[in-house]
Amino acid sequence: MTNVIKPIAITCLVIGYPFLSAYLAGLGFASFELLIFAALTLWRGFTATKRLTRLLGFLLAAVLLAGAYFANTYFVWLLPSFAYLWLTALFGHTLWSPPSFCERLVRLQFPELVPGIAEYCRELTWVWTLFFALNVVICAALPAIAGQNAWALYTGVLVYGLMGLLGTGEWFYRHRRFPDLEIPPALETFKCMALNGHKVFKG
């Protein structure tokens, strides 16, 4: 049960963050969220088993605390960019240290892959890496160019719609590229990822 509640809670927090940020910034409490995320990151650093992960957690917590101390509202708008930068690094790292991230996800359901799937997963990982990299720039530029409402709309709604379109388009393309491949229903795949997705990060 905990394995299901935890990803749901994280998802709600990520989706709700842009709107909560805009609301708190309007009230003059822009630094409050930074303190919360700094505490969560610091806790993650203390509980991490790997030294590098622990050091990165402490470093990010220090950056968040610095942003909260200086009460820089724009720093609050940059948090999604930091998240997408982390995703870019995570997906990109697996391109140079295979198996690729998408292949690791696929192996949660299919430990043994048919020929051609590993190469396809690598191509797909490239697509997601570039998508996340592009969002680093978009999320950082939007508050300065279009204002916080446009930023909240994009980071809280539109970007997830784009992710959904990308995922849905890939699902249909996969059927066309591999017509004889056993492809489980999307709901079954999402359930498997929610329950076992944490295993992808091991090692």
DSSP labels, 45-78: HHH-SSHHHHHHHHHHHHHHHHHHHHT-HHHHHH
| pLDDT for residue 64 | 72
Which pair of structure tokens corresponds to residue 76? 């609050």
| pLDDT for residue 117 | 93
| pLDDT for residue 104 | 92
List the chain pLDDT tens, one digit each, 203 residues: 445 555 556 555 555 656 565 566 555 555 666 677 777 777 877 777 777 777 877 887 787 777 666 655 677 778 788 888 888 988 998 999 889 999 998 998 888 888 999 999 999 999 999 999 999 999 999 988 988 889 888 988 899 999 999 999 998 999 899 988 888 777 777 777 777 766 776 65
Indicate the number of domains in the chain.
Answer: 1
| pLDDT for residue 13 | 58
Query: Which secondary-structure segment (H or E) carries 135?
Result: helix 117-145
| pLDDT for residue 165 | 95
Look at the alpha carbons of 131, 137, 143, 147 in this order and tell me if their dihedral is positive or negative. negative
Q: What is this structure's pTM?
A: 0.72
Domain range for residue 171? Answer: 2-201
CA distances in angstroms from 136 to 35, 80, 83, 86, 117, listed in the order given: 22, 8, 8, 9, 29
